[in-house]
Amino acid sequence: MANPTDSRVPVTVLTGFLGSGKTTLLNRILTEQHGKRIAVIENEFGEVGVDQELVIGAEEEIFEMNNGCICCTVRGDLIRILGNLMKRKDRFDYILIETTGLADPGPVAQTFFMDDEIQSQLYLDAVVTVVDAHHVWQHLDDTPEVQEQIAFADVILLNKIDLVTPPDLDRLEARIRHMNSVARILRTECGDTPIANLLDVGGFRLDRALQVDARFLELEYPFEWAGVYHLEAGPHELVLQPGPDDPTMDVVLAPVSVASAAGIEEGLRTAEMAFAGRALAQVYDGTALEPRLALFRLPLTHAGRARRNGGSPEMAFPIAISQTGAYALFTEHHPSEFDLALEGPESCVYPVAEREFKPPHEHNDEVTSVGITTPGDLVVKRLNAWLSDLLRTKGPDIFRMKGVLSIQGEAERFVFQGVHMLFDGRPDRPWDDEPRRNSLVFIGRNLDRAALNAGFRDCLAAPAKVQP
């Protein structure tokens, strides 16, 4: 739904490579009974009135500015045409801009943030990108325009799915998801999707900055693995074999309500909170661990014991389970590195479900999404310094960014979104009972996932201050 306090007219930008089915989609939108008065700006077309709609031809004119700053690059043709449209008495409810197949969506989007006249009367609702599911493969690797159109999108239509096998389609969706982890991906034939999926999406709206499905964020967690177990009451042991040269291994063993994948999800937040408070980790001192919402530090220099069946010594840490039930174990390092096993009174216990959090190997996609989610409060000075440096040096490579931040000392959530170097952010509603955390995503070219994560984490206040 449109924001009721905003009287500005929404604009949707429709992009897509040649032959993707963009024009078919546009015609579908125009002929559907949606009750909206829509103006369409098409490339190279005369001005034609179609019933309620108005179709105006535009020829792409990129205005770069003298200072060479990429974020100052706007579309002069759109400023002229939109400026004129907004003077008309019969105001439009909606404006659609169809770009050429080779258009860079950056200047189009920036026009709505860089030109005061446009910004005061119009807002960019979303970038909708149509992808030819059959032919896009050949362009994903080597056509920058196709990569940019996918990277900028709020909604991606995988079109012409009738020409592709389901496994190929899954493969394509996974690949596109890797490039843009926050766009809504819809599978269509002939662009056939309800119009509500395309209009009033709110892709650039701050109050929807984090309507991001966290499942799709390729997040960095401070642990590499989780498993959920059904454990009987009684003594257990966590047994590790000597592994890599890590001095310690942090683990969380949290009681959860179900021994299934849902139990891992349930324990995720607890585990993150516990890992964030590393300074408070309870170092193993010989007493049995008890499942609770705390971080245990297992010294890997712990004197090993001889293995029952010989071989090099193994390390065993006792665990006391007082109540039969489901428990989720989160481990800092991948258990396979230490041949980790959970042994019950009788025999080895195996996880009912497990999940790996190790960042996946990078595809060779130039365009990727980097998601960051972490509890903790940000020190605003550090955040400002990091962000301004990031945007100054990497701005041209960052197509979109959005997120919700927890700023130290502030009662409200801080929401932001941006295009290249343009940053738009403000305090939002109070956190109240909602746990404070940071969730953000960058979509761009040649993004350094590790550096972005490290830079962001350096902006966090000391964990001790998170949970005094």
Under the rule (CB under 8 A), what is the footprint of another protein? 46-47, 49, 56-57, 59, 61, 63-67, 72, 74, 76-77, 79-80, 84, 87-90, 115-117
Structure-block tokens of residue 167: 């496994």
**Rounded to the nearest whole angstrom, what is the least distance from the CB of residue 119 to another protein in the complex?**
10
Q: How far is it, in rounded angstroms, from Cα 427 to Cα 79?
A: 30
Q: Identify which of residues 79 and 461 has a Cβ nearer to another protein in the complex.
A: 79
Q: Work out how close the CB of 75 gets to another protein at its nearest, in angstroms, rounded to a whole number.
A: 11
- Which DSSP symbol is given to 52? T
User: What minimum distance in Å lies between the beta carbon of 447 and another protein?
Assistant: 29
For residue 187, the minimal CB distance to another protein (Å) is: 37
Q: What is the chain's percent helix, strand, coil content, to nearest 5? A: 30, 35, 40
Cβ atoms of 157 and 43 closer than 8 Å: no
User: How far is the C-alpha of 408 from the C-alpha of 380, rounded, in Å?
Assistant: 7
Write phi, then psi, for 18 (nearest 5 degrees).
-50, 135
Whole-angstrom Cα distance, residue 134 to residue 216?
A: 23
10 phi/psi in degrees, rounded to 5: -75, 150
Minimum distance, C-beta of residue 372 to another protein, in the bound complex (Å): 34
Sequence-distant (≥ 6) Cβ neighbours of residue 72 within 8 angstroms: 64, 65, 110, 114
Of residues 118 and 295, the one with the C-beta less far from another protein:
118
**Among residues 80 and 292, whose Cβ is nearest to another protein?**
80
Closest CB to another protein among 78 and 176?
A: 78
Q: Using CA atoms, how far apart are residues 221 and 356, in angstroms rounded to an integer?
A: 10
Q: Cβ 102 to another protein, closest distance in Å?
A: 18
Cβ proximity of 12 and 201 under 8 Å:
yes
Q: Distance (Å, rounded) from C-alpha 369 to C-alpha 445? A: 9
Which residue number, 72 or 293, has a Cβ lying nearer to another protein? 72
DSSP state at residue 409: T
Q: Which is nearer to another protein, 91 or 381 (CB)?
A: 91
Chain centroid, CA 318 distance in Å: 39
Least CB distance from residue 115 to another protein, whole Å? 7
- The nearer residue to another protein, 117 or 207, going by C-beta atoms, is 117
Least separation, in Å, of the C-beta of 84 and another protein?
A: 7
* Cβ distance to another protein smaller for residue 46 or 167: 46
CB nearer to another protein: pick between 122 and 201: 122
Q: Alpha helix locations (H) across 210-322?
A: 261-276
Handedness of CA 405, 407, 411, 412 (dihedral sign): negative
Find the farthest-apart pair of alpha carbons in the chain and give their distance in angstroms, rounded: 88
Q: Cα separation of 363 and 370, whole Å?
A: 13
Min CB(113)–another protein separation in Å: 13
